[in-house]
Amino acid sequence: MMKSVVEYKDYREYVLDYYRERKRTSAFTWREFAKIAGFASGSYLKLVCDGKTRLREEGAKKTALAMGLLGFEYDYFILMVRYEGAKTEREKKKCFEEMQALSEAHHVKILGSDLYTFYETWKHSVVRELAVAMPGAKPHEIAKACRPAISAADVSASLSFLMKAGLLTRDIKGNYHQTNRSLTTGRLNVVAVAVHSLLRQMGEFALDALDKLPISERHFSGITMGVTAETYAKVIEELARCRKRIVSLVADEPHPDKVCRLNFQFFPLTENLKRVQGTPGKGE
């Protein structure tokens, strides 16, 4: 039996599972599926599932009805299609949050929704570190340690979420422990929008640190360089290796005395020079 549509985050995966389930119990074909949905091309929905094209709003509505989706399940499927087609982070965020609300209203959790919430604000990652670094500390004490300062209510809400999400545990003495020392978003695309939000917040904090902290408490450096696509990829690989080495350095730190943020930023300062210069004309 198929899972409910609200257990999915990718509409293509749901359409493919629906097709496979119908195929398992009958002589169902892609052509028949497309005909029921009202598409002229008999291979259209297969091309969608293969990632060679995508559903748009009207097509999504026809496909949802062809699969017998009604009510909140119909709405959820349309939101999945809108999420994939969204042009901006704000649109994606709005779609995912509506998907999340629908799934929670029907007591189902979207894969990755906890990580989405975790990365949506810097507070959760900082509180998660401080809760372990400050054993026995009350929410108002943790709040005072944050920079910028947050309220004790914010800390309490964050601790509650981290416990519920399984990102923190608490022993019989009341001390917090991290279930995993490091986290990764893996291949959960729904998390990417929240990560972008977190990176933006941390970038703003970096600017504040540049202005407000003494050099002894911060490290800023940078390089301006010319690269090709090949060397760009090599630099990204080197940064990934460096990040892993740094994670291993701090992973077993038993008694940290502060929580720090390390940002990796590598981006172009110019347009692609080959496109700007163009192809030389005749006589040049």
The pLDDT tens digits for 31-86 are 999 999 999 999 999 999 999 999 999 999 999 999 988 888 889 999 999 998 98
d(CA 217, CA 282): 58
Instruction: Examine the domain organization and report whether 104 and 125 are in the same domain.
Output: no
Instruction: Examine the domain organization and report whether 133 and 94 are in the same domain.
Output: no
What DSSP string describes 50-95? TTSS---HHHHHHHHHHTT--HHHHHHHHHHHHHHH--SHHHHHHH
CATH of the domain at 76: 1.10.260
Average pLDDT (224-240) is 89
Q: Domain residues for 190?
A: 118-251
Q: How many structural domains compose the chain?
A: 2
Strands 168-170 and 176-178, by their bridges, are: antiparallel
* Residue 266 predicted with pLDDT over 70: yes
d(CA 126, CA 128): 5
CA triple 12-17-23, angle to 5 deg = 125
Whether 278 maps to a domain, the answer reads: no
Question: Which region holds residue 54: left if phi is over 0, alpha if psi is between -120 and 50, else beta?
Answer: beta
Q: What value does the mean pLDDT of the chain take? A: 83
Average pLDDT (76-101) is 87
Average pLDDT (115-135) is 84
Which of 75, 108, 141 is where one domain is finished?
108
Instruction: Examine the domain organization and report whether 164 and 243 are in the same domain.
Output: yes
| pTM: predicted TM-score of the whole model, two decimal places | 0.53
Instruction: Examine the domain organization and report whether 135 and 244 are in the same domain.
Output: yes
Q: What is the pLDDT of residue 186?
A: 46
The DSSP letter of residue 227 is -
Instruction: Examine the domain organization and report whether 81 and 130 are in the same domain.
Output: no
Q: What is the pLDDT of residue 253?
A: 76
Long-range contacts of 184-190 (CB under 8 A, 24+ apart): 185/112, 185/115, 185/119, 188/9, 188/111, 188/112, 188/115, 188/116, 189/9, 189/10, 190/9, 190/83, 190/96, 190/110, 190/111, 190/112, 190/113, 190/116
Instruction: Examine the domain organization and report whether 137 and 231 are in the same domain.
Output: yes
Average pLDDT (5-16) is 89
Average pLDDT (198-223) is 87
Q: What is the pLDDT of residue 194?
A: 63
The pLDDT tens digits for 135-176 are 888 999 999 998 888 899 999 999 998 888 888 888 888 888
Instruction: Examine the domain organization and report whether 61 and 127 are in the same domain.
Output: no
CA triple 78-79-84, angle to 5 deg = 100
